[in-house]
Amino acid sequence: MAYSGVLDDVKTAVSLGIPERIPIFAISEPFDVRMSGLTYAEYTHDADKMARCRIEAVKTFDYDWSCGWPDDYVEYEPLGVKLKGEENIPLAAYEYPEASFNTLKRLKIPDSRRDGRMPGFLEVLKRIKKEFGNTVCLTGRVAAPFSGVGLLYGVQEALILPMENPDLLRKTMEFVSELAIYWGKEQIKAGADALWVGDCVASSGFISPKYYAEFALEPAHKVIMTLRKENVFLFYHAGENSLSHLKLMAETKPNALSIGGKIDIKKAKETFSKKNCLLGNMRGIEVMKYGTREDVEKETSRIMEEGKRGGGYIFNSEEGIPPDVPIENMKVMLETARRHSF
């Protein structure tokens, strides 16, 4: 069950120490929604149902955090991004504002008190904090600037701009940096103990280390360092498996660096053990969805033992746990991780 020392344990881990218990996280939202009996459409648009789902999930599966991120567009939809989804498929963008200085000129930071789903999302955070206090690490989310451009204009435009219009890219990143800082602070006011800084469009699957260093690194660093002043934990995530990219991402100075499931955690620990806390590495599809009970137990044990060696590790999945993961596999992962958490 949620426990009173979890925030101290997170603080110890991000300080590269050995906590009394390794915090056990899982990016479990798609799975939790299915377990709650809600459709994803209900979950996305109904703050009451979202809050109930998140609270029940912590109580049922004993997560040490609560992360409620229905999709990546909560703060971008009010800017003119058009979304659609299906009953059990999360919202996704189908139409974006034009990537132009004219668009940028008319954009304004949305008002979290009234615009779109932002007020409902903040209400969910408040209810979770009221329910659990400091016994879970309540984690909101923001988009890092390079990925924010992808959310605003579309990923294709974000990848073309470095070559065709780098000035527009940089100016747009200034705007979305302001948005990330504003939205992050609003979530902190609502009770968030940590913020997940998503930057998947800046990963090795999309851009080279050269482009990352030239365009993505400094804006992400600015957002992270500004929000760190608010006394919250910043977890940087790009689903990254490339050491060359991860070394650059570490320079953004997050409290913890999320790693993908295809990188050897032992090698990652050897590379970052004296510099950065790591979290992640558990594969949601290959192991959790398609693995046997024995596969899940063996892989969880391996990751936990290698991850916690020398301190500076928080257990987590590499990406979202799919909704159709067998419930038995989820229970085995969490129970095994808990056994190895001391």
279 token code pair: 């979290």
Three-class SS state of 281 = strand
pLDDT in tens, 175-220: 999 999 999 999 999 999 999 999 999 999 999 999 999 999 999 9
Neighbours of 156 (CB within 10 A): 11
pLDDT, mean over the chain: 97
Contact by Cβ (8 Å): 278, 269: yes
CA-nearest of 184, 175, 284, 164 to 225 is 184
pLDDT in tens, 231-272: 999 999 999 999 999 999 999 999 999 999 999 999 999 999
Instruction: Provide the residue ranges of all domains of the chain, joining segments of one domain with +.
Output: 6-339
CA-nearest of 141, 147, 142, 143 to 202 is 147
Contact by Cβ (8 Å): 109, 181: no
| CATH class of the region 6-339 | alpha beta
CA-nearest of 82, 132, 114 to 186 is 114
**Better-scored residue on pLDDT, 2 or 121:** 121
